[in-house]
Amino acid sequence: MPLFDKQVPPFYRWEGDTLILNVLGRPNSKQDAIGRVIGHQLEVYAAAVPRRGGATAHMVQYLASIFSVPEHAITVVFGEKNVNKQLRIESPGKLPSVIQRAKK
């Protein structure tokens, strides 16, 4: 089967009201920002140093504001100390435009 025929898994999925999001973390960035979709991950830039999970904690704070949820509504499933992460976001109040576009 040719490589271009392979279907890339989506960077997010829903389990009821919970959003499961695959993230490619970009620590040490100049500012916090949502990037583009790369394969099956969403780039998320964090203006924090990747030391002892600090960049991930900073990213969770940032994403809580983006998704309009309290920080405790976001669970890091895996990747706390790695750039490849999976997050569970319970009942997001808002969705960033990249997810709204992907939904259609």
User: For residue 29, is it within any domain?
Assistant: yes
pTM summary value: 0.87
1 lies in a domain? Answer: no
* CATH number of the domain encompassing residue 72: 3.30.1200.10
Query: Is position 94 within any domain?
Result: yes
Beta strands in 1-104 (DSSP E): 12-15, 18-26, 33-38, 41-45, 74-78, 84-90
Instruction: Give rounded-to-5 percent helix, strand, coil for the chain.
Output: 25, 35, 40
Which parts of the chain sit beneath pLDDT 50? 1, 104
In a domain, 35, yes or no: yes
Domains in the chain, number:
1
Residue 97 domain boundaries: 9-103
CA dihedral 28, 30, 31, 36 (to 10 degrees): -80
Do the domain assignments include residue 4? no
pLDDT at residue number 1: 46
Does 14 reside within a domain? yes
Whole-number pLDDT of residue 8: 57
